Amino acid sequence: MISTISPIEVKRLIEEKGALLVDIRESDEYAREHIEGARLMPLSVFTHLPPATDRERPVVFHCQSGMRSQGNAATLEKYGSSTTYLMEGGLMAWEKAGLPVIRQAVPIPLSRQLQITAGVIITILSVLSFFMPILTWLTLFVGVNLVFAGYTGICFMAKLLQLMPWNR
């Protein structure tokens, strides 16, 4: 069973025992902010990796809030060492403890841009359709586009968002 330790204990373990800090978030999350020296190993690739070979070095896994780490503790244990830990509260707790984080300005992932854009369009059109019922058809069009995108993997709104200057 994996033990959970605080960010302060993680920092001490890194400094005193050379523990390996493993960030299990996805690459876009890591690019936005991460702990210096943390190795990126997204949870989505764990099933493709061989189990750990360095069984002596302590390993500490972390995510954004600790929920992904806790929910996948059994999987993470296979890829840890003889002393494997989860960082309590994840990156958020690390920051709250006043420990340093590296931040970089990167665009919001396209999938989230799409969710924001679709949500804004549907909200505005829904409100305006009370005054101009014809706009109900545009709301329906956006909804159908999202269903089509989910079914086929082709999203016209995403294609438009990719052309925006911040996504180049």
Specify the pLDDT at position 36: 95
pLDDT (0 to 100) of residue 6 = 97
Question: Is residue 10 within 8 Å of residue 21, measured between CB atoms?
Answer: yes
Mean pLDDT for each 10-residue chunk of the chain (168 residues)?
93 94 91 94 80 74 93 83 90 96 86 88 93 91 88 86 84
HEC per residue, 16-66: HHCCEEEECCCHHHHHHEECCCCEECCHHHHHHCCCCCCCCCCEEEECCCC
> Is position 63 annotated as part of the catalytic site?
yes
Of 63, 87, 155, 158, which is the active-site residue?
Answer: 63
pLDDT at res. 52: 60
The confidence score (pLDDT) of residue 159 equals 87
Predicted local confidence at residue 161, as pLDDT: 86
Q: How far is CA 137 from CA 1, 43, 104, 119, 132, in A?
A: 55, 41, 41, 16, 10
